[in-house]
Structure 1
Amino acid sequence: MQFRFRRTCRIRWFLILLVVFIILFFSINKWLIYTPSSIGFLELNTCPACFGISLCHLFGTNNVQLSGWQRFSFFNNDMFNIKNIYYGTLKNQPVIFKKLAHQSEWIMFDVCRHNSSCFQQVKTTLTTLLPCSNSTFISKFQNAFISSTGFNISESKISLETTLQMNLEPIVLSTLSNSGLPIPLYYGACGRVIVVSNEGSNLVFYLHSSFQFRVFLARELLISMHELNTGNSDIIIYYPDINLENFVYNQYERRVKIIDLEYVTIVERSLFFNTNIDDDDDENSRGKTLNSNKYCNTYMPDYNFQKQATQNENSHSTTIDIDDDKLVVNDFLHETDLIRTNIDKIDELIQEVKRIHSEMLEPMANPKLEHELDDKKEEIKKLSYEVSTKLKKMEQIKDNCNDHDKQNAQWRIQESQIFVLTRRLRDTMIQYNQETIAHRDRCKKIIVRELEISGNRKTDDELEDLLENGFPGTFNLSIIIDTQKAKQSLDAIEARHRDIIKLENSIKELHNMYLDLAMLVQNHGEMIDRIEYNVIKAADYVEDAKDNVNTAHEYAKKSAKVKKFCILIILITSILLILILILIGYFTQKKFLGK
């Protein structure tokens, strides 16, 4: 009984906490999280001092959804959400909800909106947007915005005055949104929120992208700046507000678009149809601040380009440079290409040496082969020392890198390239050394054969002593034969002896270089051994993990079977209990009726 009581209390507490949690969730959702129809979000109570109501019939339905951290009302201030923008969807299309002013600016506007002195006249305010236009052209922009608000005539004028006072962007978008210019699509407004298409991330997001992609973005940005001048046959748009946050990259259209249109200046193209552009005005058009007369009197086709270039010169954040590390890598790879070319030359020279060795042992050998062989060996010696010196220098530079540099990919590229080149040079020189020793053995066999023919046999030790003396007269003291054949044998023996002496000298000269190469290969060999060891250990771990996954899979299958079996037992037991209770009730009732 005590156990049942405790269990019942736990269940009750759980249900109470669940109800409290649900109540708190809906309270937070109502008071702390904006919904598309929230009064604090749309501020419909301020209309017609707002941007319009054309989309209000969609807000409050599933057609409009908010997303992102900005929808929490706690962040609805100038500290966290200074741009006062929100993300979401409109009919499943990604859009941006913009209030077009700081929250503090809206508060100040509400304080003085009943005071007529706070507002400027419509004509005066539109002069900043359309400094050179007549009333007909100005009314075109006014009517486009008024028709997009959804208000009647009197209310739409109040909405227009509010927009002129706070931000001109809705007027620009409502007029030019579908003109093919690189600007967002304007859907409309509800209260103090306008809805525009979400064109993608701003260019700040791509500052750490690859150099090639940044060059592509710079090109697309210049194209968009050019389209402001040439994209519309009726108007010219001057854009002075150059900031990476004002430009976004549309991945689907592969195009840079402009998302902040508050400070644009629009001029009718017809003003310059018959205007001859004076080159003297080009320098003046570079001024940072241009008044209305300048806009109206001077055609400035390169104004947007100049503003973009000036901003790039004055701002480090928009400078696009090739990293110095890229140049270092290019220099290193160029050096490795030269080393690889020299090793290829050494390999070709070794093949030439093999050919000369073979021809020198023929009975009628050309006497010039000896000089040719000396030239080839000298060239091999020169190239091998040059390559070895470069590899040593590269190894020293690599070892002098700090721990931070050793973590990047460039250091690993250098490490692997140096190891591969060192190993290849070592293999090439070992091949050359083997050919040198093989030729020495062949020469030694010829000397032994000629000595046997002349009847003067020598043991291996005696022959080595004779070879180490280093002068041909040694054989004259041992072989004194007057026949012509013996003289020819003596010449052959002395020629082979000279070859052996040269080969031994060549081996001695290259001995130090072989030692250096051996040390380099040994050092890199330890690294390769560690890598191989780690790969083997990783393979073992993968095998163990595979076995564990299979075991866990089997346990999961068994557990599922056990669960199904337990559920089946519980169901059968429940059915039996119900049947037993029914039977007991039936027989009890029958017995009672029988009495």
Structure 2
Amino acid sequence: MLRFLPLKLGRLYRCLKLLLVLGLSVVLLMNTHTLFASFQKNELTDRRFVNLNKCPACFGTSWCRKFMNGQVSFETWGRLRFLDMFNVKNVFFAQYGEPREGTRRIVLKRLGSNQELADIDQKICKRAMYKTEFARLNGDVRLLTPDVVEGWSDLVHCPSQRLLDRIVRRYAETKDSGSFLLKNLKDTERMQLLMTLAFNPEPLVLQSFPSDEGWPFAKYLGACGRMVAVNYVGEELWSFYNAPWEKRVDLAKQLMDIAEQLTNNDFDFALYLLDVSFDNFAVGPRDGKVIVVDAENVVVADKRLIKQSERSFLLYLRSVRFA
């Protein structure tokens, strides 16, 4: 009896595989028209697809001209909308083209799942956010201050005024960047900054600590509606799991160097990654450099503020002691 068990299991496995293939074939046949339409149309030129109609409750508009001109397009599999059910993180690979520079690969992010985006829409519709946090930052408010935004996201879990000034000054979704004064931003730009800070601050991390200055993050390119574009780095770290021993040692050394750089640097900001996984790192194909490609969960501590607080506390203890 037992000798026939593997044979039965083999037949069952083949039947299940056949049913799966048939099921996928039926789905493809039912969506034939949609498939052809997906390959023929560049959905990234659709204002509603990139949620440009949601602005100013969006992430920015600096790249909208490139999107609307058709300079950004999904790669092959990214054009198939029925595959979105498997793309929970809403991360897509795309091609970006410039007339003189040719095309290159980039990464597009919605910065959240469909459910998370629906939840933020619901909150906005109920005007809960406008009546509380956002309302206090409209009008003639001069600075973005810690007492208002503390705890909105990991980036501002323990913010200092110096960090917030840096975020505003380096905000890339405004034409007049360079000022740390919140009041110098337009109302729409201010709303976009606050929306990004509260929902997913990854773009602000990439802007405030840019790769051009040596920070180990992917380069921020721009945004249109609720679609953010960042530079494509390379294969994710997990793909090197079976690489030669020397390569794995080099990658491990680079990870430790990243931790050291984020903790001790000339800017006196300590950045702590709260979500450390293979998926959040990528390796450049040419230089083999490890880069952080998911910076949503990053806590930033101002070491100057910590030192200042320590000195103030010591002075207080001395005053109490000799009182």
TM-score (norm 1): 0.39
Larger radius of gyration: 1
Classify the secondary structure of the residue corresponding to 1:188.
strand
Alpha-carbon contact 2:153-2:199 (below 8 Å) kept:
no
Counterpart of 1:87 in structure 2 is 93
Counterpart of 2:208 in structure 1 is 175
Counterpart of 1:448 in structure 2 is none
Mean CA deviation greater in 186-195 or 251-260 = 251-260
Alpha-carbon contact 1:32-1:74 (below 8 Å) kept:
no
Q: 1:158 aligns with which of 180, 191, 206?
A: 191
Amino acid at match of 1:88: A
Q: 1:247 aligns with which of 264, 272, 281?
A: 281
Counterpart of 2:222 in structure 1 is 188
**Which stretches in structure 2 are left out of the alignment for 5+ residues?**
1-31, 98-102, 134-147, 177-184, 311-323
Amino acid at match of 2:246: Q
Counterpart of 2:108 in structure 1 is 97
Residues of 1 paired with 2:50 and 2:44: CA distance?
8
Alpha-carbon contact 1:34-1:41 (below 8 Å) kept:
no
Corresponding pairs, count: 250
Counterpart of 1:593 in structure 2 is none
**Counterparts in 2 of 1:322-337, with a 5 A limit?**
none
Counterpart of 2:64 in structure 1 is 56
By how many angstroms is 1:123 displaced? 1.5
Residues of 1 paired with 2:232 and 2:80: CA distance?
20
By how many angstroms is 1:28 displaced? 3.4
By how many angstroms is 1:67 displaced? 0.4
**Which stretches in structure 1 are left out of the alignment for 5+ residues?**
1-23, 277-595
Amino acid at match of 1:141: I
Classify the secondary structure of the residue corresponding to 1:57.
helix
The answer to whether the aligner puts 1:266 opposite 2:272 as a matched pair is no
Alpha-carbon contact 1:180-1:231 (below 8 Å) kept:
no
> Do the aligned partners of residues 158 and 233 (structure 1) sit closer, same or farther apart at CA in structure 2, a change above 3 Å counting?
closer
> Do the aligned partners of residues 25 and 61 (structure 1) sit closer, same or farther apart at CA in structure 2, a change above 3 Å counting?
farther
Classify the secondary structure of the residue corresponding to 2:216.
coil
Alpha-carbon contact 2:235-2:282 (below 8 Å) kept:
yes
Classify the secondary structure of the residue corresponding to 1:89.
strand
Residues of 1 paired with 2:55 and 2:93: CA distance?
23
Residues of 1 paired with 2:194 and 2:58: CA distance?
9
By how many angstroms is 1:137 displaced? 3.4
Amino acid at match of 1:148: E
Alpha-carbon contact 2:173-2:189 (below 8 Å) kept:
no
More strand by share: 2
By how many angstroms is 1:245 displaced? 0.7
> Do the aligned partners of residues 129 and 90 (structure 1) sit closer, same or farther apart at CA in structure 2, a change above 3 Å counting?
same
CA RMSD of aligned residues (A): 2.8
Classify the secondary structure of the residue corresponding to 1:58.
helix
Residues of 1 paired with 2:153 and 2:109: CA distance?
24
Counterpart of 1:140 in structure 2 is 166
By how many angstroms is 1:32 displaced? 8.9
> Do the aligned partners of residues 205 and 41 (structure 1) sit closer, same or farther apart at CA in structure 2, a change above 3 Å counting?
farther
By how many angstroms is 1:263 displaced? 1.3
> Do the aligned partners of residues 46 and 28 (structure 1) sit closer, same or farther apart at CA in structure 2, a change above 3 Å counting?
farther
> Do the aligned partners of residues 34 and 65 (structure 1) sit closer, same or farther apart at CA in structure 2, a change above 3 Å counting?
closer
Amino acid at match of 2:275: D
**Counterparts in 2 of 1:371-386, with a 5 A limit?**
none
Alpha-carbon contact 1:32-1:72 (below 8 Å) kept:
no
Alpha-carbon contact 1:125-1:164 (below 8 Å) kept:
no
Amino acid at match of 1:114: C
Alpha-carbon contact 2:149-2:156 (below 8 Å) kept:
no
Classify the secondary structure of the residue corresponding to 2:196.
helix
By how many angstroms is 1:166 displaced? 1.6
TM-score (norm 2): 0.69
Residues of 1 paired with 2:157 and 2:35: CA distance?
51
Amino acid at match of 1:36: L
**Counterparts in 2 of 1:347-386, with a 5 A limit?**
none
Residues of 2 paired with 1:87 and 1:56: CA distance?
17
Alpha-carbon contact 2:150-2:157 (below 8 Å) kept:
no
Alpha-carbon contact 1:98-1:194 (below 8 Å) kept:
yes
* Structure having greater relative contact order (Cα 8 Å, sep ≥ 6): 2
Cα deviation digits, residues 373-403 of structure 1 (max 9, x gap):
xxxxxxxxxxxxxxxxxxxxxxxxxxxxxxx
Give percent identity, aligned residues only: 25
Counterpart of 2:155 in structure 1 is 129
Alpha-carbon contact 1:200-1:248 (below 8 Å) kept:
yes
